[in-house]
Amino acid sequence: MALTTAPGRTARTGPAGPRRTRRGAGRARLGEGLAGYVFLSPWLIGLMGVTAIPMLLSLWLSFTDYDILTPLTEVRWVGLANYERMFTADPSYWHAVRVTLTFALVAVPLKLAAALGVALLLNRTWRGVGLFRGLFYLPSLLGGSVALAIVWVNMFNRDGAFNSFLAVFGVEGLPWVSDPDWALETLMVLAVWQFGAPMVIFLAGLKQIPTELYEAAAVDGAGTWRRFRAVTLPMLSPVIFFNLVLETIHGFQGFTAAFVLSNGTGGPVDSTLMYTLKLYISGFTDLEMGYASAMAWVFLVAIAVITAVFFSTGRFWVHYSDGEEDR
């Protein structure tokens, strides 16, 4: 994963130095440039073939009535009809939006809080701390795996391990995954439990905070909480920002667990109908791929807007202290 290198990149947002120096190169270096493209071609072909062209195609499809089975040459242009239907005539679309927002708004902050909390604990130097780091990271290695979702469903159904555990304390559990009031919460818990990836990034960020700052703060009489508020949080803010953006995007894209839990239906009673699941059902079960493409594009724009909002608020609370001063 490219995750671990990224905080450094976020922290270095100065003027684009390398690009400017190369700009002076002229025709003489044309051959070299061509060689560059040749070397780039595996990636470029991949980007074009697997991402860019299908994406553009889906943009076009979003204005058509494409139903998968009809050849692409015979699809009908329907203008904005798909978008119109989505916004005005499909209540389950808005339901999916609500479910997804609820999921992201609850699961993402909890996950980040858990990641930061555990990272703070693991940042100390105990014996065997490496083992714990590994153990806490483990769940996110299993990532969006289907196997994990299946285990989760079996743990949280009526006769699952979780209810057996509750029974030890005389508490009668609920059929969590089959209860429309709790199914989504079960998925949130699963998402929060996989806090390993942001935790490792937090840990890396914590390691970079100069100990002098803590020493200085201690000399000034700052207690633990104060040191956390005045030193750790501001120094860590670029990393928090990075994790926030990434996890929010992940949160919106949650699919696998919801798909497995509901057998691909978004049930019980649409309680786990995440946006991507609704999109999948529209495209592959209801064979309305044009409509599904329109949904995908609205989704892309929505995520871009949310990310842009994060970036624009970032300047009020994200401190890139090392960059400007050291260089």
Partner 1 sequence: MHPATSPTAGMPAGRNHRTPRTRRRFLRGLAAVALAAPLALGAAACGGDEAADDGPVKLSVFWWGGDARAKLTEDALALYTKKHPDVTFEKTWQANQGYFDKLATLTAGGNPPDLFQIDDNYLAEYAGRSTTLDLTSFKDSGKLDVSKFPKSLWQYGVVDGKLAGVAAGENTQGLVYNKTLLQKHGLPEPTTGMSWEQHIAWAEQVAKKAKVPGTQDPSADYKAFWVWLRQQGKDLYKGTELGFTADDVTRWFELWKGARDRGATPTADVIHEGNATDITKQLVVTGKAATSWVWANQMPDLKKNTKDELGVVAYPGDPSAQWARASMYWSVFKGSKHRDVAVDVINFLTNDPEAVALLGTDRGLPSNLDLRAKVSETATDPAMKQSIEVESELAQKFGESPQVPIKGHSKVRSELTKAAENAQYGRATPAQAAQQFLAACKSAIG
Contact segment (CB under 8 A) with partner 1 among 7-15, 127-135, 174-182, 196-204 equals 174-182
Distance in Å, CB of 202 to partner 1, minimum: 23
Angstrom distance (rounded) from CA 151 to CA 155: 6
Using CB under 8 A as the binding rule, whether residue 82 contacts partner 1 is answered as no
Binds partner 1 by CB under 8 A, chosen from 109, 173, 234, 268: 268
The answer to whether 262 and 177 have CB atoms below 8 angstroms apart is no
23 vs 327 by CB, closer to partner 1? 23
CB atoms within 10 A of CB 247: 21
Phi, psi angle pair for 44, to nearest 5°: -65, -45
Whole-angstrom Cα distance, residue 225 to residue 55?
48
Q: The dihedral of CA 208, 231, 11, 198: what is its sign?
A: positive
Task: Find tokens 């002076």 and name the residue.
Answer: 24
8 binds partner 1 (CB under 8 A): no
305: contact with partner 1 by CB under 8 A: no
Q: Under a CB-based contact definition with an 8 Å cutoff, are residues 289 and 110 in contact?
A: no
- The structure tokens listed for 279 are 């999109």
Q: Does 164 bind partner 1 (CB under 8 A)?
A: no
Site for partner 1 in 196-215 (CB under 8 A): none
State the distance between the two ends of the chain, measured CA to CA, in whole angstroms.
28
Using CB under 8 A as the binding rule, whether residue 274 contacts partner 1 is answered as no
Q: Does 264 contact partner 1 by CB under 8 A?
A: yes
Residue 272 and residue 258: Cα distance in Å, rounded? 6
H-run or E-run covering 242: helix 233-252
Tell me the closest approach of the beta carbon of residue 170 to partner 1, in angstroms. Answer: 21
Q: Does 312 bind partner 1 (CB under 8 A)?
A: no
* Contact call for residue 142 and partner 1 (CB under 8 A): no
Which residues, other chains included, contact 125 with Cβ-Cβ below 8 Å and sequence gap of 6+?
none
Smaller CB separation from partner 1, 32 or 212: 32
CB of 51 to partner 1, least distance (A): 5
The contact mask relative to partner 1 for 33-72 (x = CB under 8 A, - = no) is xx-xx--x---x---xxxx-xxxxxx--------xxxxxx
Q: Which of 260, 292, 264 is nearest to 279 (CA)?
A: 292
Binding residues vs partner 1 (CB under 8 A): 19, 22-23, 25, 27, 29-30, 33-34, 36-37, 40, 44, 48-51, 53-58, 67-73, 89-90, 92, 157-158, 175, 178-180, 252-253, 255, 262-265, 267-270, 276, 279-281, 284-287, 289, 296-297, 299-300, 303-304, 307
